[in-house]
Amino acid sequence: MAKGGFREAKGDLRIEDVTKSFGDFTAVDDLTLVVPRGSFFALLGPSGCGKTTTLRMVAGLEQPTRGRILIGDTDLTGSRPYERPVNTVFQSYALFPHLTVRDNVAFGPKRRGEKDAQRLADEALNLVQLPHLASRKPTQLSGGQQQRVAVARALVNRPEVLLLDEPLGALDLKLRRQMQVELKRIQTEVGLTFIHVTHDQEEAMTMADTVAVMNLGRIEQMGPPAQMYDLPSTAFVANFVGQSNLGQGRITGRDGDFVVVDVNGSTVKIPSARCAVTSGEVLFGIRPEKVHLARSSDIDAAIRDRKVAFGDDMRATVLDVSFIGVATQYLVRVPSGATWSVYEQNLDVDPIDLKPGDPVWLEWDPAHAFGVAADGTPIPGITPAPGQDAP
């Protein structure tokens, strides 16, 4: 099957101490990563953080400035793209404009000397639900259709490692969900290694075995999706993966398994095991759905009791109420001046009686709190916007 310099390599994808510099700009900074064979690895990160550059180095389209890239025990560093058992779904699709959709998809199999390249191409086109457009040229397709052709063109080769650079970004929600299911099915059935770059967190969370969050050319945190969400290890991840309510505070002591933190006069607790710092400055964090709202009118009676029974609390003022169907989102201002959000599930049909300006109490189970290092990175929502000081 192999032709030319094609290298048969099987095993885990290993990226070892890889750095990529463009002039004096470092796009990928000393990256080390092992993606086990047959796993689905999602790469999240803000625009320009080096995701595409990382994929390009794995594909061989860019050579690392330092470091090695291996699949199994085969060192692929320095080899040409066509020698690698790796295919890419390009962020810009990069379809061949002079070939029909079918010939685009059959391109890879043909180069590898497959005899029934056309049949394979048709199968792949079925998979992305485009068999009826097989004889069109790429310019005659919509953006989402082009994207699916790009997916089919890479997938048809069943490579050892498939690199997907935002492969579903141009699709509507329904089609995207369908394609996610298809991709996941193929990945598990054939046992391919997928590296999937996406801006859709939900996509990363639902599809991936492992999620990595990249920032400024480095991996900030990596782990199973639930763990990433439950316990972010840096302020960046806390904000990038889902939403977090954060408060700048200072560790004042210990209380059993908890560290005690003072956040602008409110005393809150973080489980020691969930706090990345042991003393000094800390960023206290809690997810919006873990916070509950209590009417300020029955503070004296109810809250005091609950405080003992339930957990920590903090006084706040309602800024905005938005009804989202299954839940209601409240934006509240906490004493530090930061804006927090709170999700209350609409379990009852009670009318929402809170309105902007109402005083409320926030309460949460301290076991859900987490603490990350206050590393000075600007945190959205924590610095009060000018002219919006708390009353």
Token pair in block for residue 15: 């990226």
Q: Are 390 and 315 in contact (CB under 8 A)?
A: no
Q: Does 6 bind other proteins (CB under 8 A)?
A: yes
Note whether 248 binds Mg ion by CB under 5 A: no
Q: 3-state class of 325 per DSSP?
A: coil
Please say which residue, 53 or 266, places its beta carbon nearer to Mg ion.
53
Query: Is the Cβ–Cβ distance between 68 and 16 less than 8 Å?
Result: yes
What tokens were used for 293? 């709202």
Residue 252: enclosing H or E segment and its boundaries?
strand 245-255
By CB under 5 A, residue 52 contacts Mg ion: yes
13 burial class (0-12, 13-18, 19+ CB within 10 angstroms)?
buried
Q: Which two tokens stand for residue 207?
A: 């599809």
Considering only 91-99, 138-146, 238-246, 327-335, which stretch makes contact with Mg ion by CB under 5 A?
A: 91-99
The total of other beta-carbon atoms located within 10 Å of residue 136's CB is: 15
Q: Which residue's CB is nearer to ligand ATP, number 46 or number 265?
A: 46
DSSP state of 139: G
Q: Smallest distance from the beta carbon of 81 to other proteins, in angstroms? A: 4
Segment near other proteins (CB under 8 A), from 103-111, 277-285, 288-296, 359-367?
103-111
Q: Which stretch binds other proteins (CB under 8 A): 152-160, 225-233, 241-249, 294-302?
A: 152-160
Q: Is 196 in the site for ligand ATP (CB under 6 A)?
A: no
Closest separation between CB of residue 190 and other proteins, Å?
A: 18
Query: For the chain, percent helix, then strand, then coil, each to nearest 5?
Result: 30, 35, 35
Nearer to other proteins, 15 or 379 (CB): 15
Options 11-19, 50-58, 200-208, 282-290: segment touching ligand ATP (CB under 6 A): 50-58
Q: How far is the CB of 50 from ligand ATP (least distance, A)?
A: 4
Residue list 14-43, contact with ligand ATP (CB under 6 A): 22, 25, 27
Q: In what order do the strands lie in the sheet with 339-345?
A: 291-295, 359-364, 312-323, 327-333, 339-345
CA separation, residue 370 to residues 45, 200, 354 (Å)? 21, 24, 28
**Closest distance to other proteins from the beta carbon of 4 (Å):** 5
Determine if 48 is a binding residue for ligand ATP (CB under 6 A): yes
The phi, psi pair for 320, rounded to 5°, reads: -160, 145
Q: Is 198 in the site for Mg ion (CB under 5 A)?
A: no
Paired strand residues for 340: 332
5 binds other proteins (CB under 8 A): yes
Rounded Cα distance between 210 and 42, Å, is: 6
Cβ distance to Mg ion smaller for residue 168 or 276: 168
By CB under 8 A, name the one of 39, 54, 87, 180 that touches other proteins. 87
Q: Does 95 bind other proteins (CB under 8 A)?
A: yes
**Site map for other proteins, 22-51, x if CB under 8 A?**
------------------------------
Label residue 81 left, alpha or beta by phi (over 0 means left) and psi (-120 to 50 means alpha).
Answer: alpha
Q: Which residues bind other proteins (CB under 8 A)?
A: 3-6, 59-61, 80-82, 86-88, 90, 92, 94-99, 107-108, 111-112, 153-154, 157
Interface residues with ligand ATP (CB under 6 A) are 22, 25, 27, 45, 47-53, 91
**Positions that interact with Mg ion (CB under 5 A):** 52, 91
